[in-house]
Amino acid sequence: MIYATEQICPYPDKLEPHPSNHVALYAWAGMSQTLETTVDDGLATVRLNRRHGNAINLDLVDELIATFHKLDADEAVRGVQLAAAGKLFSPGLDLQELIELDRSDMARFLERFNACILSLYTFPKPVVAAIHGHAIAGGCVLTLTADWRVLREERMIGLNEVRVGVPFPFGVAMILRESVQPRYLEEIALYGRNYRGEEAATVGLVHEVHAADGFEGHCRTRLESLADKDPAAFAITKRYLRAPTVERIMADEARLEVDFLDRWFSHETRTKIHAIVDELKGRG
């Protein structure tokens, strides 16, 4: 759920579609600073679009929750492609911002992050993750909520939290357990490796790898093939498949958040995070 680094964006009561031919652009009044959402022929694209490589902060988390809620309620939306702008999909948590939070504010962020992941994981419509750039730690976690994950060739994906001294939130661990090949679960979670290409597909972090040429078009085709199914049958089946994981998360996650916070605020972990932040600031 970790890495790399603006202003809080107000949320209006509703999204306003702005037609452009057959494409609708859903923009927050006051403009989103973290997402760009379009809907074309019933298929939405939610594109991470935040500075610092789409690093995850509270604004991004809250806007993801709100946007997926609106897309769920919009009967014209048949499915969602989760994508990103820039070179990276997401490097994970915005360490430069989050390291400055005290424990109560970090607890609030963690609660909202966990709510975001559960919201995406329980989204009833088809979701395809179009992973065009590196998706590390929290960036990888976002993609694990999707029904189908496509990684662009030569891009990396992985979960490196343990290398920084931060445990997975309980919900992330449960979703990971249900998402990857069981024989590779410990390797992915405990070694903190990043994977490329077919190796990422072999371990189960993604379902397939595709060349850069025609990448998003291929992801859209995948989404269309899911979205043309009966929506009620799809939603019910998806809910049944994910129900055991969701029930465990809802039963235990809140009481286990203290484990994450204790490690986050431990001297050893904060020393590592400060070193990473200093390196990032050194890069400009």
Query: Tens digits of per-residue pLDDT, 122-141?
Result: 999 999 999 999 999 999 99
Please determine, for residue 116, whether its predicted confidence score (pLDDT) is greater than 60.
Answer: yes
Give the residue among 151, 160, 110, 114 at the shortest CA–CA distance from 131: 151
Amino acid at 71: L
- Which is more confidently placed, 52 or 205? 205
Burial (CB < 10 A; 0-12, 13-18, 19+), residue 56, is buried
3-state SS, residue 133: coil
Q: How confident is the model at residue 26 (pLDDT cuts 50, 70, 90)?
A: low
Taking the alpha carbons of 59, 169, 4, 106 in that order, is the dihedral positive or negative?
A: positive
Residue 51 has pLDDT above 90, yes or no: no
Instruction: For residue 72, count CB atoms less than 10 angstroms from its CB and return exposed for 0-12, middle for 13-18, buried for 19 or more.
Output: middle
**What pLDDT is attached to residue 46?**
98
**Residue 11 reports pLDDT greater than 50:** no
pLDDT band at 203 (very low <50, low <70, confident <90, very high): very high
pLDDT in tens, 213-268: 999 999 999 999 999 999 999 999 999 999 999 999 999 999 999 999 999 999 99
Instruction: Count CA atoms within 13 Å of residue 169 on its CB side.
Output: 27
What is the model's pTM?
0.89
Half-sphere exposure of 229 (CA within 13 A, CB side): 17
> Across the beta sheet with 208-210, what order do the strands follow?
16-20, 23-27, 35-40, 43-48, 79-84, 127-131, 148-152, 208-210
